[in-house]
Amino acid sequence: MSDVSFAPAERWLTIIGIGEDGPAGLGDEAKTLISAATIVFGGTRHLELASPIINGTKLAWESPFQRSIEAVIARRGMPVVVLGSGDPFLYGIGATLSRSIGAGEIRTIPAPSSFSLAAARLGWPLQGATCLSLHGRPLELLLPHLHHDRRIIALTSDGETPLRLAKMLRDLGFGLSRLHLLEAIGGQHERQRSVIADDFDLSDVNPLNVCAIEVVAGEGARQLAFTPGLDDSLFEHDGQITKKEVRALTLSALAPRHGELLWDVGAGSGSIGIEWMLANPSLRAIAIEQSAERAARVARNALAFGVPGLSIVEGAAPVALGGLPEPDAIFVGGGGSGAGVMETTIGALKPGGRLVANAVTLEMEALLLSLHGQHGGCLTRIDIARVAPIGEMNGWRPAMPVTQWRWTK
């Protein structure tokens, strides 16, 4: 066996992507590194696949997984190999380990990802497909991406997921969508089958599968537009909701940017926090709501809109705001006139952060006028009117006017 250098010396950790074809799909460099390693970490399946060329100690991932991360870090400076699926930095072990180990300590030899293999099998340009991981994640993450003619490639958790996906598509009006099931992709037991969601009858599904979907929207299918100000009827609410036109203006004022955190104070139905998160997958939001019934409703809405990561804090501001992560933006839509609420939100906001508060009552409007006088910012009056029947004719029926204060700290 030839000597293997792990140079540069500081790159003590080698992460190697391996496919279902095992060593046969690896290059000479990857095979030599695995053979030379004194310790090889990986999932049980990955270690079995690479077993013919492993000469060192095999250590399977433990539960909880943090114990294994600590075991890898404890060997810092020693030549260690970690095996992962396909491209380790695409929803893989590389992305996990890099949170604790610097890039200068890692060398990576990736293999084709499941997304790449699926696109190649289907003849889909990968840049034109939406790639999602539903592995260990809620299936509802798929919902914002269900648009007619869209192509989606999704990593799944098990052999039951394809049936659950088909049922979800049927229930939301996408039953005519075609679902491509790619099982054990890249291995000797690879199989590809296709079925219309409405007619899903596939059995004996390999737990290692990828689902690709050609989306077909039927009449009345729930398609979530990209723009803010989604129709009020899409939300479950008891009347406590920022109406669609005002919501669109409010999201514009909040101006979400990559990776930012929003506090939605007095969340009501959760519509502001939900649409904030829909703007980009990197965005986070915390909905603060004192009513237990409404807090539960916010959770249901978040799931129905495909943003299950929305955090919900049940309690009244300002007390419920204590100890929350520092926000980049704050929306105050309910309860803002309560003692200490606006002072607390102003104090909590990051420098450069945005605060937007809406008032429909005279008391809250007076408070916003006072805050504008003290801190500056921008005051806007929003008047919306909608056509409504007046006897046998139609006329404009005005909604309650909204005073909006927008301020940057």
**Number of domains the chain is built from:** 3
Write down the pLDDT at residue 101.
Answer: 93
Secondary structure letter of residue 235 according to DSSP: S
Last residue of a domain, one of 169, 186, 214: 214
Ranges under pLDDT 50 in the chain: 1-8
Yes or no: say if 37 and 81 are a contact pair by the CB < 8 Å rule: yes
Write down the pLDDT at residue 77.
Answer: 87
Write down the pLDDT at residue 9.
Answer: 52
Residues 101 and 121 in one domain: no
Q: Which domain holds residue 166?
A: 115-214
Residue 246 inside a domain? The answer is yes
Yes or no: say if 328 and 284 are a contact pair by the CB < 8 Å rule: no
Any idea which residue has 């939001």 for tokens? 285
* pLDDT, tens only, 125-184: 999 999 999 999 999 999 999 999 999 999 999 999 999 999 999 999 999 999 999 999
Residue 3 inside a domain? The answer is no
Write down the pLDDT at residue 115.
Answer: 97
Q: What is the CATH number of the domain that holds 208?
A: 3.30.950.10
Write down the pLDDT at residue 378.
Answer: 97
Residue 307 inside a domain? The answer is yes
Q: How many CB atoms lie within 10 A of CB 199?
A: 12
Write down the pLDDT at residue 240.
Answer: 87
The span from the CA of 16 to the CA of 76, in Å, is 17
Pairing of strands 402-408, 354-359: antiparallel
* pLDDT, tens only, 263-300: 999 999 999 999 999 999 999 999 999 999 999 999 99
The span from the CA of 358 to the CA of 242, in Å, is 9
Which of 240, 218, 230 has the alpha carbon at shortest distance from 287? 240
* pLDDT, tens only, 329-352: 999 987 888 899 999 999 999 999
Residue 5 inside a domain? The answer is no
